[in-house]
Every structure is written in C-alpha cells, then in structure tokens.
Structure 1
C-alpha cells in the first residue's frame, strides 16, 4: 500500500512538473528573469471574466524601490475566446486582477488604498495585431504601501482556429523614454504563438 501511495505521489508530481514545463514557452528570456504561472482567473482575482493561463516574468530589479527596474515586468494572458477581447474587457480584467493582487478590499485605516483604474488606447500596428498604450493606477501593497501609476503597453494577437487570444502586457512606472522600456520591449513572444498550448 505504501509503495502504491509513493508511486501515486511521484506520478502526480511528474504531471504537475510537465504541466508547468508546457507553460514555459510564451516569452523568451534569460535565466536572470523570475517566472511565475497562474491559471486565469487567479486565486487572488476570482471575479475576472477571462479563462486561461498567465505567464509573468520579472527582471532582477523588480522588487527594489530605488532600482530602475522597480515594478517593471511583463505578463502574457492566453485566454479562451471566440473573438478578440475589447478594450473594455481588457481594462476591466486588469482592474480586477490588480485589485485582487493588491488586496484592495481588505480594509486598512493606515494606508490610502483605492481601487485600480486602467486606461488603454489603441495605436497603429504594422503586424495586424491590436496594440495599446495606456496606464493603470494601482495600490502597491508589496513595497511602498502607496498608490502608483504603471505605464503599460499591450498587444493582442487573436488566434481564431484555436479560439484564443494572446495578450502581452508590459508595465513600468518609468516613462516610455527610459532605458527599462528598451529592455521590456526586447523580450519577444515565441514564434507561432497561436500553435502553442
């Protein structure tokens, strides 16, 4: 009986590892970037209306307040949908995501915590994908315990045959002319992204 239980535990562990490995393919980065994976909606933002998975990557300076990479990172949502997500869908789900991440509903009289607000503006794209520039105002519960504005760039690629959209979000409190954006923009999606996962 113990051998069977041990085998079952090992099999489950291998299956989980295989699932995680399959997810490690949206973004091409070097080993200095930290990666995290979530199912969507995430455990911290169950009100999100999108269903799928997320890959998030963080440069080494992400968590250091005085660093040029502070709060600069990228995540990709691969969501199940029969049509591209609208600006409203993206804005609403970003707000729900960050409100959950920052635990905005948890009352705390010592900090000025406000709900997240997102704004995406479509811009021209030579790729045929939908490209956005925007901002999201969020509460930073992890480092500063203050409200902050993250500038963002997003690109949505709709995959009709697979009935999914791949949305890449790049965030930083730095303005778009700062060097960190060169680093964020240099991280590419893997080729033939619609055929993955």
Structure 2
C-alpha cells in the first residue's frame, strides 16, 4: 500500500474509532449485515452549532468509500434527539451546510493544504409535507476522492411519543432518486419502539 493511500485509510480508521467509541449504545438503524454502522453522541464534535442532545446513528452502504461504486457515498443517518428540531427547508439547508463543512474539515485536519481547498457546502431543500423534505447538497469528499460532491438527500421526520424523542432520518447518495441504491436506502429502518 503506497504512502498516499495509507494516510486516507488511517484518517478514516481514526474517525470511525473516534465516532464509534460508545459501543454501549445499540445502533437503532437496521440494515443488511454488510452495511457498516456508527453511533455518535450529540453534541457532534464536527458540528457543534447543531444545538441538540441525543444520538446520531449511521449506516454506510458497502461501497460507501469506493469511488466508482454504484453505492459510493450512499448512507443513512438518524438523529434521535430530545429537542423538537422545528424543521423547515431553510433550517435543514443551514444545518446540512454546517454538518458537511464541519465533517469535511475534521477529516482534513491533518492536511492543511487539502483543508484550504475545501469549498463551502451549499444545500437546497423543499418541503414535500410536514414530515418529508427532499434536497441536494453540493459539498466535498474529504474521505475518498478529494473532489467536489453532489448529494441527493431525503429527510423524514417523526415524533416518537412513547419515548418523547424526535427522529430525523436522512438518506443520502450522489445517485439520482430513481437509482437502485434508493430502494436499498429505504430498507434501512428505525428499530425503536414509538407506539
């Protein structure tokens, strides 16, 4: 393995180890066995402006970190939070920009040259109904390609009355919404009891 390939591998490994350090918390996102997972507690180290308390659960498609794979950068994450996020298209845009800007800068923190090249993320969302939003974010892949990245995103909100929690599920992929990966993303389900 060349030095150029080793460094990104080490960064990704460190990020996974750091993010998944709370192994006592079970991942509430159910997915196929080959979908890797992460559990991160709020406040998120890379996006401290998101003023929530709770947990983020993540599931990565098998080809998430493989440029050229049909499921490259395709994943789902769930915010299981105590506060009502009071979602709107404008609020999701702002929060996703902060989320991705912070994440990509964290991943690039050991490479000042790369960090200076990362463009600011720009998100665009529309409200479908009171619990569903669709949008796009123009961001950067600091993990794999070191190139700009356009992600399609769907957002589903629900209130878990039994546990007095708010659940916000994000599905993301650079693939168009008609692509097969979206069927797989829809199979990633929340396993908490809200009835």
Q: TM-score when scaled to structure 2?
A: 0.77
Residue 40 of structure 2 is aligned to residue 23 of structure 1: no
How far 1:166 sits from its partner (Å)?
0.3
How far has the Cα of 1:58 moved from its partner? Answer: 0.5
The answer (yes or no) to whether the contact 2:25–2:39 under 8 Å persists in 1 is no
Q: CA RMSD in A?
A: 2.7
Q: Which residue in 2 is equivalent to 1:61?
A: 63
After superposition, the Cα gap between the structure-2 partners of 1:49 and 1:191, relative to the gap in structure 1 and judged at 3 Å, is: closer
8 A contact 1:56–1:75 mirrored in 2: yes
SS of residue matched to 1:158: strand
Q: Which runs of no fewer than 5 residues in structure 2 stay unpaired?
A: 1-19
Unaligned runs of 5+ in 1: 1-15
**C-alpha deviations, 1:20-76, integer Å up to 9, x for none?**
34432x222122110011112211222222222100101111111010000000000
Aligned equivalent of 1:108: 113
Find the residue that maps to 1:101 and give its secondary structure: helix
SS in 2 for 1:97: helix
* Equivalent residue in structure 2 for 1:121, among 123, 126, 129: 126
Report if the CA contact (8 A) 1:51-1:80 is conserved: yes
Match of 1:79 in 2: 81
Normalised TM-score (structure 1) = 0.76
> Quick one: structure 1 residues 22 and 94, their matched pair in 2 at CA, closer, same or farther if it must change by over 3 Å?
same
Give the length in aligned residue pairs: 173
Q: Which residue of 1 aligns with 2:13?
A: none
Residues 103 and 156 of structure 1: CA distance in aligned 2, closer, same or farther (over 3 Å): same
